[in-house]
Amino acid sequence: MGKAYDVVVIGGGTGGYVAALRASQLGARVAVVEQGELGGVCLNVGCIPTKALLRSAEVYEMVTHARDFGVMVDGDVKADWAKMQDYKAKVVRRLVKGVAVLLKKAQVPVIEGRGRLVDAHTVEVQGAEGTQQVSASKIILATGSRPVKLPLPGFDLLGVVDATGALELESLPERLLIVGCGVICAEFATLFSSLGVRVTVVEMLERALPMMDHDIAHEIHRSLKRRKCKVYFDSRAQRIDEHDGALLATFETPDGEKQIEVDKVLVTVGRWANIQDLGLEQVGVETKRNGIVVDERMETNVPGIYAVGDVTGAWWLAHVASHEGIVAAENACGHESRMHYKAVPSCVFSHPEAASVGLNEEQAREQGYDVLVGKSLFLSNGKAVTYGERDGFVKVIAEGKHGEILGVHIVGPHASDLILEAALAMQMEATLDEIAATIHPHPTLGEVISEAVLAARGQALQS
């Protein structure tokens, strides 16, 4: 038997390394088992590299519209995909190194290899130098997720990629088909269309972003159309064939079967929890169709074994994983901590951005609330106008009796930053009146939130 620890974390992604840091902070002897790069999906092939490329595309768009702001740019403005990839890689390397430094400072060793459970207190690690076992009083599973593969004809061809593959493309395709119109689609459609790629989207449901408020989904759809993306709803991909050096995609629409020729196909239809070959069955850890079953303490049915992040198959968000990691670590170290999901913000880094927290309008009505809705546009906001970012709105959902905030939905400039005020308001069970009484600085984008709150009371001043 190898070294003994108080807590062993299997997986060094966002949930795993944060759990390790918190457990170490609480005085536990901790080790992290990781078979790949620290930082997991989010840092290496998800959130961060995508946002780095989106930032490059945003800068490119800003420069191409510089004349609108009285700035004359001499010569041709070109988007250099290879240089954008270099920038992305530099950002990722810096942040991965940062995670390694944090773990080293916390005296948390990283054991390289694939970890699996032997029993409730033993982890077997298969690494490049052989197999070893480490023991632990408590174990936290944070093995993340992987993209769903479609079992359709031709979807295993070379030009068909998932989000990870799209981030590693050596050159920009001229024509791209995206299957699925969720968050990942909205971001990649924004990225590639900004750089001149002709984008087509096929979505089996009747609208974009099905988990978000219908008004948000409608605005994102409008933004994709403004970018000349062709979007087909109520449509199903059927097959991909090779055709004259390109890919011929066949899909069924309400108007019948269609075919388009593209250079690449990007599949964005969801993710599967990484629960295979973890020894879960051997130890008796309960699972569901797509993840590990946990309680509000992030503990599984086996005492002392916890699970956090994507592997639980509940929320596919890095910030939720990190918070779950903290909760699991605290419970593993003898403290009492509970996970609450009432005020979880979700963000879409399209252009314009979108962000939501709490109930959308449909959900609030379905749950029987007497719903108040307030909406305010960025169109008349001073800062939005000066920045040339006037598209979008803030939509506030509240209950009628006390005015408690039930949900806030934003599409527009810096929506991902603005949603924090709404998340805090919901966490504190704030009301419309309390937000209205809060002085919002001028000129800021946050004033649109204040105006939407006033609109819910029928007291809007600027719209």
Q: Which among 228, 247, 269 is the end of a domain?
A: 269
**Under a CB-based contact definition with an 8 Å cutoff, are residues 141 and 278 in contact?**
yes
Regarding whether 378 and 411 lie in a shared domain, the answer is: yes
Residues 176 and 76 in one domain: no
Q: Is residue 132 part of a domain?
A: yes
Q: Residue 10 falls within a domain, yes or no?
A: yes
Q: What are the pLDDT digits (tens) for 63-102? A: 999 999 999 998 889 999 999 999 999 999 999 999 999 9
In a domain, 155, yes or no: no
Measure the CA–CA gap between 397 and 371, rounded to whole angstroms. 7
Distances (CA, A) of 347 to 101, 212, 311, 316, 452: 28, 10, 20, 12, 19
Confidence of residue 129 (pLDDT cuts 50, 70, 90): confident
pLDDT in tens, 164-179: 999 999 999 999 999 9
Same domain, 168 and 114: no
**Domain range enclosing 448:** 345-456
Residues 380 and 282 in one domain: no
pLDDT at 453 over 90: yes
Are residue 8 and residue 138 in the same domain, yes or no? yes
- Under the banding of pLDDT at 50, 70 and 90, the label for residue 2 is confident
Do 46 and 137 reside in the same domain of the chain? yes
Residue 311 has pLDDT above 70, yes or no: yes
CATH value at residue 450: 3.30.390.30
What confidence score (pLDDT) does residue 1 get? 58
Answer yes or no: is 100 within a domain. yes
- The answer to whether residues 396 and 385 belong to one domain is yes
Rounded to whole angstroms, how far apart are CA atoms 359 and 348? Answer: 17
| 167 and 293 part of one domain | no
Within a domain: 277: yes
pLDDT digits (tens, 9 = 90+) for 193-207: 999 999 999 999 999
User: Looking at the domain assignment, is residue 337 inside a domain?
Assistant: no
218 noted as active-site residue: no
Residues 49 and 182 in one domain: no
pLDDT bracket for residue 461 (50, 70, 90): confident
Q: Using an 8 Å Cβ cutoff, are 60 and 81 in contact?
A: no
Are residues 186 and 90 both part of a single domain?
Answer: no
The CATH number given to whatever domain includes residue 24 is: 3.50.50.60
Instruction: Evaluate whether residue 151 is within a structural domain.
Output: no
User: Which DSSP symbol is given to 278?
Assistant: S
Give the residue from 269, 300, 324 where a domain finishes. 269
pLDDT > 70? residue 352: yes
Give the length of the chain.
Answer: 463
Please, which pLDDT band fits residue 462 given cuts at 50, 70 and 90?
Answer: confident
| 152 falls within a domain | no
**Candidate list 65, 335, 402, 442, residue with the active-site label:** 442
Among 222, 250, 269, the domain-final residue is 269
**Tally of domains in the chain:** 3
* H runs (alpha helix) in 11-159: 14-25, 40-45, 47-64, 81-105
Do 262 and 299 lie in a common domain? no
The backbone region for 319, taken as left when phi is positive above 0, alpha when psi lies in -120 to 50, beta otherwise, is alpha
| 295 and 257 housed in the same domain | no
Band (pLDDT 50/70/90 cuts) for residue 351 is very high
Kindly tell me the sign of the dihedral angle through the C-alpha atoms of 426, 430, 435, 440. Answer: negative
